[in-house]
Amino acid sequence: MASQPGNKHTDKHPDSPSGKPPGWRAKLRAWWEGDAAGADDMADGQPYAAEAEPPPPDPEDTEPTIASWPPRRLAVVQTLFGEGFDKPGGEALIRQLTQPLGLNPNHSITELGCGMGAMTRLLAREGMWVDAWDSDAALVDTGLGLARKEGLKQRTNIRASSLDDIQFKRRSIDAVLSKEGLIGVQDKRLLLAKLRGALRPGGQLMFTDFLLTGSEESRVYEVWLEREPVKPHLLTLEGLQAELESLNYTVMFLEDVSQEYKAALLDAFSAYAAQIKLQGANADPIERDWAISEGEHWAIRLSAMDAGCIRLYRCFCRVND
């Protein structure tokens, strides 16, 4: 498509020698140095513009990456989102998933895509027994360590496995939960069918997941798809509704929660920026590079959400037979 006069995505950028909008890494470095506009730019919906050359890795540490979970990344995300959390929102957004279910220690509970196990541990602290799964062994190991630290190991069974490969015993589960943990599931209909067979009469399914809400041909979508560390497999809203209905789930609600997710993410980065500003010259430059790498990941995801390519939905279903 030919560029139009005044198009902010194609006109030359006045602050960039190349004429391109500054990349997220450049924006986040400016934010780190105290430019408040850098944090605001995380939510401006601008498409990501790659820099010509990434900064060289610090010789005292491994190069920042979101492709895996080395100790530095684990430490930075917990500084951002809270101890034991690898996703934004903290306990507040977890409660929005767990409270409507009326869970008690007599229920058999499963969490899918548990990450570091924050929701699993919250339920265990309330007396529940939880089976939890995640495809990333490093996150599972971290979750197990946190469960032991809190004295919750006996109530939490956290395991590493591809979510596409998990098998469930028929009519063995009362409630299934997932918080942004299904993005990499290749065959979501198959997983939903497995869960339908595993849920007992009166069983409940509560999850948040990203849905495709825009064109797959847009540049913003293509960049997001390329930069996600786990290859996303998305349903559309209509597709998810059709799958659930065909499997005889009773859908209680299916709602767009993108704005509260975005607010939680920006709050986390704003609080982190304030903390770094207080440290001043004492701020760790290696931590800075890891924080910038993490911020770039989340900024690209926000760009895709703000552009309408993807949205986060919360879904609550029941099984009546």
The Cα–Cα gap between 55 and 9 comes to 24
pTM: 0.84
pLDDT for 315: 98
- DSSP secondary structure letter of residue 61: S
pLDDT for 142: 96
DSSP result, 104-157: -TTS-EEEES-TTTHHHHHHHHTT--EEEEES-HHHHHHHHHHHHHTT-GGGEE
The Cα–Cα gap between 309 and 314 comes to 17
**Homologous superfamily assigned to 102-207+237-259+312-318:** Vaccinia Virus protein VP39 (3.40.50.150)
Ranges of each domain in the chain? 102-207+237-259+312-318
Residue 275, C-beta contacts closer than 8 angstroms, at least 6 positions apart: 79
The Cα–Cα gap between 107 and 98 comes to 13
AA identity, residue 99: Q
pLDDT tens per residue, the chain (321 residues)? 433 433 333 334 444 444 444 455 566 666 666 655 555 555 454 544 444 344 444 444 578 999 999 999 999 999 999 999 999 999 999 999 999 999 999 999 999 999 999 999 999 999 999 999 999 999 999 999 999 999 999 999 999 999 999 999 999 999 999 999 999 999 999 999 999 999 999 999 999 999 999 999 999 999 999 999 999 999 999 999 999 999 999 999 999 999 999 999 999 999 998 888 888 778 888 888 999 999 999 999 999 999 999 999 999 999 988
